[in-house]
Amino acid sequence: MPAEVFWILEASFQPGREKEFRILVDEMVAATRANEPGTLNYEWSTSPDGSECHIFERYMDSAAAMIHLATFGQKYASRFLEVLKPVRFVVYGSPNQDVKNALAAFNTVYMQPVGGFSR
């Protein structure tokens, strides 16, 4: 577990973009599942009132997170930001400096592990 990197991104919906959101989610989930074996979790959830989205992502290590971030930047970032407005980005685990540099624009909060376990 020490090498794992995971995060929760909280975002609000841009008005009138619900249809584009569903298309984007389906496309990103399918591409991540098919092309990123180092992605351990990739889960999108929405609030009951449809005003916000939480995205939970977990990677086996920083290299796997960087593969995802590179793909996101090349293929999805502009569409993502047209549909969703990032509100809070919290990172857990052991991200390396490359991951931190890649996430710098999101005003990211980094939490430090102090105890616990995963099964």
Reduced to 3 states (helix: H, G, I; strand: E, B; else coil), residue 45 is strand
Assess if residue 34 is contained within a domain: yes
Assess if residue 15 is contained within a domain: yes
Assess if residue 119 is contained within a domain: no
Assess if residue 117 is contained within a domain: no
Residue 86 contacts residue 71 (beta carbons within 8 Å): no
Assess if residue 116 is contained within a domain: no
**pLDDT of 1 strictly over 80:** no
Number of compact structural domains in the chain: 1
Assess if residue 44 is contained within a domain: yes
Name the token pair of 41.
């979790």
Proportion of the chain in helix, strand, coil states, percent, rounded to 5: 40, 30, 30
Instruction: CATH number of the domain at 48, please.
Output: 3.30.70.100
Assess if residue 118 is contained within a domain: no
**pLDDT of 50 strictly over 90:** no
Residue 3 contacts residue 43 (beta carbons within 8 Å): no
Q: What is the mean pLDDT of residues 65-82?
A: 97
What is the DSSP secondary structure assignment for residue 105, as one 8-state letter? G
Domain that holds residue 47: 5-110
| Neighbouring-strand partners of residue 55 | 9, 44
Name the token pair of 115.
């105890």
**pLDDT of 54 strictly over 60:** yes
Assess if residue 115 is contained within a domain: no
